[in-house]
């Protein structure tokens, strides 16, 4: 999770995978659900060469292997190729609110994770996406991989920065 100069969090919503065709289109992986939700976020930010900048989306479409994007100012295959690996993000404030009991994964990153007995497992470093469900990567004295499923997630307290999971420190 990156922050802008004014301290607002940026949420990564996709990554550019390379050029598509010769007219400046890029292939991208959308981290949104559904994938085409990426098309409606504004402002869209692009990280390239270590710096974030505003990015205007001229056209977009779904493809069999992700999404295809035409970004303003990217006119050739070479321009598009230089964006390979670049991240796409939006300010956290641009995301729609979630229903009670639902969370953006980015809001959970960095939270302390405890067992029901109060043992601290560590904090959420990031998530692994699997076919079945996301997995929390918790870093502490050791690394824990905990499935993000209702049976394991007992309590989320964003105000206190803490999550309680049905997990044991020695698992």
Domain edges within the chain:
2-94, 105-165
Structure confidence at residue 64 (pLDDT): 86
- Residue ranges, the chain, pLDDT below 70: 1-7
What Å distances lie between residue 3 and 70, 75, 115, CA to CA? 25, 29, 30
Long-range CB pairs of 132-138 (<8 Å, 24+ gap) are: 134/105, 136/108, 136/165, 138/113
Fold agreement (2-94, 105-165) = no
Structure confidence at residue 2 (pLDDT): 57
Pick the CATH number of 2-94 from 3.40.50.9100, 3.20.20.20, 1.20.120.80, 2.40.30.60: 2.40.30.60
Verdict on whether the full-model pTM lies above 0.75: yes
Of 3, 14, 81, the C-alpha closest to 44 is 14
The CATH number that domain 105-165 falls under is 2.30.30.240
What Å distances lie between residue 104 and 85, 97, 107, 171, CA to CA? 23, 9, 5, 26
Q: Which residues contact 66 (CB under 8 A, 6 or more apart)?
A: 17, 27, 28, 29, 30, 35
Alpha helix locations (H) across the chain? 77-81, 105-108
Of 88, 86, 85, 138, the C-alpha closest to 115 is 138
Structure confidence at residue 7 (pLDDT): 65
Of 75, 102, 110, 157, the C-alpha closest to 3 is 110
Cβ atoms of 133 and 147 closer than 8 Å: yes
Q: Which two tokens stand for residue 113?
A: 């994770």
């Amino acid at each position: 999770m990156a922050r802008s100069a004014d301290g607002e969090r940026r949420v990564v919503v996709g990554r550019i995978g390379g050029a598509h065709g010769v007219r400046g289109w890029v292939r991208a992986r959308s981290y949104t659900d559904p994938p085409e939700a990426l098309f409606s976020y504004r402002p869209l930010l692009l990280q390239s060469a270590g710096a974030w900048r505003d990015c205007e989306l001229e056209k977009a479409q779904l493809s069999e292997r992700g999404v295809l994007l035409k970004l303003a100012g990217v006119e050739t295959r070479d321009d598009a190729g230089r964006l390979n690996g670049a991240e796409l993000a939006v300010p956290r404030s641009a995301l729609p609110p979630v229903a009670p009991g639902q969370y953006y994964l980015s809001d959970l990153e960095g939270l302390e994770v405890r067992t029901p007995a109060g043992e601290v497992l560590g904090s959420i470093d990031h998530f692994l996406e699997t076919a079945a469900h996301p997995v929390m990567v918790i870093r502490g004295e050791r690394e824990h991989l905990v499935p993000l499923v209702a049976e394991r997630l007992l309590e989320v307290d964003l105000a206190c920065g803490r999550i309680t999971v049905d997990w044991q420190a020695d698992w």
